[in-house]
């Protein structure tokens, strides 16, 4: 098992280390982790795609009652749908293929998913301003800064994904590590401040304000996503040097990214759990 990676290791999307061995064969001493990782990826494909499409449909149907954060939720759902299309190619690359060319495509989509927390941070920022600075938020409500910010985020994501494609930039994994640590700290700060402010709302008045109620629900969802999906990466990746290359490459790497990628299913499911669908089930209604 050749561990001389010669700077080719990026945050994920390995270049094959042996021309005649797949990644699965290189990690065959602990295949359970790869099997678990691939099962999460295919769950994203079969559950995440319809869930994200449903989110897009619901937001399109409820434009009048939409939140200002919905534009970022839309972009995040589109990003997740694109990423959820990759499991068949990923399965082929990990288990069957030894050629390096398919990894260029996978690394591009990995790069898109790696920086998806930027859209979550935009949602946190929007809710933070709505709760902590409501007057300023009202002034900005009908302006075009949110679409402009979404475009900037997409440009950053696409630039990162394009740079990740070759897989041969030394130390490139540090870009992801710095980003996830910064975004994680920012989101936790915003959410903690929002929760603290909402707890101090005056009984019978501010506590029932629809903007604050919506913000509270959104904060709980984002906190759940942060803790479950992103905390493993934050907790483990800065300590990469304390693990052997073998353990990190075949175990830690796939555990952390498997949980992070599973956000493509968790995010839309949590969003849908708080939504009221615009249809009613009439199958069980009786007539008198």
Look at residues 107, 233, 237 and name the one whose alpha carbon lies nearest to residue 165.
Answer: 107
CA distance linking residue 123 with residue 149, whole number of Å: 11
pLDDT at 199: 74
pLDDT at 281: 40
pLDDT at 153: 97
Residue 263 or residue 170, greater confidence: 263
DSSP character string of the chain: -----TT---SS-PPPSSTT--HHHHTTTSHHHHHHHHHHHHHIIIIIHHHHHHHHHHHHHTSTT--TTHHHHHHHHHHHHHHTT-HHHHHIIIII---SHHHHHHHHHHHHHHTTHHHHHHHHHHHHHHHH-HHHHHHHTTSSHHHHHHHHHHHHHHHHHHHHTT---TTTHHHHHHHHHHHHHHHHHHHHHHHHHHHTSPTTTGGG-HHHHHHHHHHHHHHHHIIIIIHHHHHHGGGGGGS-HHHIIIIIHHHHHHHHHTHHHHHHHHHHHTPPPS----TT----
Lowest mean pLDDT among 48-52, 85-89, 167-171, 216-220: 216-220
Give how far Cα 12 sits from Cα of 221, 232, 252, 254, 281, Å.
Answer: 27, 15, 11, 9, 44
Domains (range + CATH), the chain:
23-273 (1.20.1070.10)
- Rounded to two decimals, what is the model's pTM? 0.84
270: confidence class by pLDDT, cuts 50, 70, 90: confident
Give how far Cα 31 sits from Cα of 65, 70, 109, 114, Å.
Answer: 48, 40, 24, 24
Tell me what the mean pLDDT of segment 89-110 comes to. 89
pLDDT at 212: 66
pLDDT at 91: 93
Residues above pLDDT 70, as percent of the chain: 81
Rounded to 5 degrees, what are φ and ψ at 198? -70, -35
Contact 264, 113 (CB under 8 A): yes
pLDDT at 15: 45
pLDDT digits (tens, 9 = 90+) for 136-175: 888 877 778 899 999 999 999 999 999 998 878 887 888 8
Tokens (6 digits) for 181? 């640590």
Q: Is the pLDDT of residue 56 over 60?
A: yes
Residue 18 or residue 101, greater confidence: 101
């Amino acid at each position: 098992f050749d561990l001389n990676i010669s700077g080719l290791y990026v945050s994920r999307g390995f270049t094959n280390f042996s021309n005649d061995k797949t990644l699965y064969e290189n990690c065959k001493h602990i295949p359970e982790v790869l099997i678990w990782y691939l099962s999460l990826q295919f769950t994203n494909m079969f559950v995440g795609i319809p869930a994200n499409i449903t989110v897009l449909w619901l937001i399109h149907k409820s434009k009048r009652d939409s939140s200002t954060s919905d534009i970022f939720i839309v972009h995040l759902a589109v990003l997740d749908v694109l990423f959820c299309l990759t499991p068949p190619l990923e399965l082929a690359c990990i288990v069957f293929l030894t050629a390096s060319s398919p990894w260029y495509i996978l690394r591009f989509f990995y790069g898109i998913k790696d920086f998806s927390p930027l859209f979550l941070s935009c949602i946190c920022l929007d809710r933070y301003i709505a709760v902590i600075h409501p007057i300023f938020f009202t002034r900005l409500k009908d302006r075009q800064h949110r679409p402009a910010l979404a475009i900037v985020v997409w440009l950053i994501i696409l630039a990162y994904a394009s740079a990740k494609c070759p897989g041969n930039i030394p130390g490139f994994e540090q870009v992801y590590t710095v980003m996830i640590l910064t975004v994680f700290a920012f989101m936790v700060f915003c959410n903690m401040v929002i929760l603290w402010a909402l707890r101090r709302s005056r009984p019978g008045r501010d506590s029932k304000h629809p903007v604050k109620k919506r913000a509270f629900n959104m904060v709980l969802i984002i906190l759940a996503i942060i803790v479950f999906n992103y905390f493993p990466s934050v907790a483990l990746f800065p300590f990469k040097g304390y693990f052997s290359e073998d353990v990190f490459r075949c175990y830690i790497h796939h555990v952390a990214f498997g949980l992070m990628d599973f956000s493509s299913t968790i995010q839309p499911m949590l969003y849908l759990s708080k939504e009221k669908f615009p249809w009613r089930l009439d199958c069980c209604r009786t007539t008198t």
